[in-house]
Amino acid sequence: MSFTLIDAHCHLDFDVFDEDRDAVLARAANAGVKHYIVPGTTRERWLQVADLGRRKEISVCYGLHPYFLSVHASGDIDALEAQLDAHPEAVALGECGIDARLDDLDRQWQLFDAQLRIAKRRHLPVVIHCVQANDQVAKRLRQLALPAGGLIHAFSGSPEQARGFLELGFVLGLGGGATYTRAKRLRRAIRSLPDDGYVLETDSPDMPLSGAQGTRNEPSRVHAVCETVAGLREQSYSAVAMQSTATARRLFGLVPHQA
């Protein structure tokens, strides 16, 4: 195995890492994290994401995140197509999706649907942000039948919703949410997953782990996520590390020389 842990979703391009990005990566490497998937969120950030993608330990995606709906412009879908043409090394389309806590759901759905159609044409996996919309998103994914599946990032649903996404060819991203004892439904879902049904992630700098609220999250903490998931599943740390790494490699088409 060429790397032991993969952070399958982290925003290393964000400005909060500008002062110490190399140190952040060094800490993660010391914790056994050898590869990172960095998704794009807005058109203006794709340049920073592409720059990070030049590092052998980082793979990237490009997409338009629903949280930043106010900055997305009418030409951004065409720009996304052009970005993917210019960067065929992208391992997925994303981060895109639906956040039912936010306004303008109609526009969110329009933007999401346009990106799903691009992914379907290009046979790319999709990295999906899905908050309080699991059933609606699953219904749309079922209608579109995406050939390459994808990742339901920061999954927080029920065992039944987890099973529905798995049946559609998606895997679930497990991160800081798993470390909270109050997340009883999520923890039941984690216990129910097949060994190849999940990847580990941090969503750095967001999604802090229990006990670290109010601090910047870092990819090194995927090590703690792995420990938590192993405990919940009554498996060894090494088994969860190997299983999640293998699933991330399969989903994103990673090859050994990239790590």
Residue 125 burial (C-beta neighbours within 10 Å; 0-12, 13-18, 19+): buried
At residue 176, the pLDDT reads 97
CA distance 34 to 55: 12
CA distance 104 to 49: 27
At residue 148, the pLDDT reads 98
CA distance 121 to 126: 12
Handedness of CA 103, 154, 152, 68 (dihedral sign): positive
Tell me the residue ranges of DSSP E strands in the chain: 5-7, 33-38, 58-62, 92-99, 126-131, 150-153, 170-174, 198-200
Model's pTM, two decimal places?
Answer: 0.96
Which of 5, 12, 4 minimizes the C-alpha distance to 217? 12
At residue 256, the pLDDT reads 62
At residue 222, the pLDDT reads 98
Domains, the chain: 5-258 (3.20.20.140)
Beta-bridge partners for 172: 152, 198
pLDDT tens over the chain, length 259 residues: 345 899 999 999 999 999 999 999 999 999 999 999 999 999 999 999 999 999 999 999 999 999 999 999 999 999 999 999 999 999 999 999 999 999 999 999 999 999 999 999 999 999 999 999 999 999 999 999 999 999 999 999 999 999 999 999 999 999 999 999 999 999 999 999 999 999 999 999 999 999 999 999 999 999 999 999 999 999 999 999 999 999 999 999 998 645 4
Radius of gyration of the chain (CA): 17
Give CA 205 to chain center in angstroms.
13
At residue 259, the pLDDT reads 47
